[in-house]
Chains A and B, each alone.
Chain A
């Protein structure tokens, strides 16, 4: 199955630690989107990246959050100094390119901050 791969699926961190979430898009897809889903809520857009470029980060918190999509390797969402409010499911989606394309979602990484 060459779907969108996210890891880890579950991550537990204590307050103040760092969380790194990885996303490998589908083969041939060069566009990656990160979303956050808080408990009992819908998905909120965070950031859109193409290889080596952040295109739209309008949904990213201004502090502690960063994302990258290097030329080689997966996209990474990094959360520094985590707080309890960061506990959520983080979903990655990929797109081949072009307009109005379908986003393919991974199964998510569930972060729990103790």
Chain B
């Protein structure tokens, strides 16, 4: 069965600093991996996804993630964060029937 572990529940960072949000997954089959962002009282928006091909995936808002099969990781990175990046970030792996299995989320707090 697939599962996702997000290693940090909260990540505080100063504006314009780099950030990495960590995600490890467990799956016995080929994996499709996703990062979603949730702003307060809103739904989830897709940041990026890995289906196949290049292990470095670029997404919206300057985010990127790297698929590492040997470490079963899919960490999300941004070289310079903005106040507007403050949100909850969810890593997910695709299970059967395209349903997504989510991690518990990482709250990114960007401070001025």
Contact = CB atoms under 8 A, between A and B. Distances in A.
Contacts of B54: none
Contacts of A102: 34, 46, 49
B52 to A, nearest CB: 9
Interface in A70-114: 91, 93, 95, 99-103, 105-108, 110
Contacts of B101: 45
B98 interface: yes
Contacts of B43: 4, 91, 105-108
B67 interface: no
A105 B98 contact: no
Contacts of B105: 41-42
Interface residues of B, number: 25
Interface residues of A, number: 25
A55 B90 contact: no
A55 B90 CA distance: 25
Contact of A103 (B51, B98, B104): B98
Max chain B Cβ within 10 angstroms of own Cβ: one of A33, A100, A106, A108: A100
Given A91-B43, A91-B44, A106-B43, 19 more contacts: A33-B98, A41-B105, A42-B6, A42-B90, A43-B90, A43-B100, A43-B102, A44-B102, A45-B99, A48-B97, A48-B98, A56-B96, A56-B99, A100-B51, A102-B34, A103-B98, A105-B45, A107-B43, A108-B42
Interface of A: 4, 31, 33, 35, 41-45, 48, 55-56, 91, 93, 95, 99-103, 105-108, 110
